[in-house]
Amino acid sequence: QSALTQPASVSGSPGQSITISCTGTSSDVGGYNYVSWYQQHPGKAPKLMIFDVNIRPSGVSNRFSGSKSGNTASLTISGLQAEDEADYYCSSYAGSSTALFGGGTKLTVL
Amino acid sequence: QLQLQESGPGLVKPSETLSLTCTVSGGSISSSGYYWGWIRQPPGKGLEWIGSISYSGNTFYNPSLKSRVTISVDTSKNQFSLKLSSVTAADTALYYCARHGGGGNFWTYYFDFWGQGTLVTVSS
């Protein structure tokens, strides 16, 4: 199992929309509708933002949305705000009751 | 509100066994059939799932670590624990405990409550 592939960094200006990709294989991202996304601010624990590709837990802003096409999942953040600046990690079910994470993407709000 | 707190030695010598405990408060580790897991994050790097356990002791491990990992649960103390044997410098990381989402006695791949993490350094 190899880590899912994410861009090292993305950036955007306040109010804009950005998309973070997460690429896996047919054995993980492409094989199941089981992708989650986490937000991690410096020195803090990860926070669940999206699960099952596009479901937001209670309390998560609707500015965060998820999607998937083939072996690639995406997290879109609309109406970018300063507090969105953080690291973002994707995760996928990888079969046989195992989970795989991505390498993480640093989002900079310009 | 559910809270998880990791505890254990911050420094472990190479070839020895890393041992950590996660104490759950604000809820019972036995309730609603949740699974409980360990995740680690080497300094400046990404997350890696280590393994998980149910309240009844059913375990699942990351295949890449399976030979060195043991996770156990103590429902009387509302705790679950991690042991990682034969550690090397590559095991230096921030170790998180977390609750799997969903419940219902089904293992899921995502985590909805996390501890704050504890840094473990492997060094002589």
Mean pLDDT in residue range A8-16? 97
**pLDDT at site B31:** 80
Contact check, Cβ <8 Å, B114/A97: no
**pLDDT at site A7:** 97
Given a cut of 80, whether residue A1 has pLDDT beyond it is no
Q: Band the pLDDT of A106: cuts 50, 70, 90.
A: very high
Nearest Cα neighbor of A4 from B54, B48, B69, B31 is B48
- SS3 assignment, position B67: helix
Mean pLDDT in residue range A99-110? 96
B45 chain-A contacts, CB cut-off 8 A: 103-104
Q: Which residue of B has its CA nearest to A60?
A: B112
A66 touches chain B (CB under 8 A): no
| CA-based nearest distance B113→chain A, Å | 8
A46 chain-B contacts, CB cut-off 8 A: 47, 96, 111, 114
pLDDT higher for A96 or A52?
A: A52
**pLDDT at site B107:** 86
Over residues A56-98, the pLDDT tens digits come to 999 999 999 999 999 999 999 999 999 999 999 999 999 888 9
Taking only residues 3 to 22 of chain A, the set having a beta carbon closer than 8 angstroms to any beta carbon of chain B reads: 3
A36 touches chain B (CB under 8 A): yes
With contact defined as beta carbons under 8 Å apart, do B37 and B47 qualify?
A: no
Which residues does chain B have with pLDDT short of 70?
A: none
Contact check, Cβ <8 Å, B46/A3: yes
**pLDDT at site A56:** 97
Q: What is the 3-state secondary structure (H, E, C) of B15-61?
A: CCCEEEEEEEECCCCCHHHCEEEEEEECCCCCCEEEEEEECCCCEEE
A55 touches chain B (CB under 8 A): no
Measured CA to CA, the distance from residue A42 to residue A36 in angstroms comes to 20
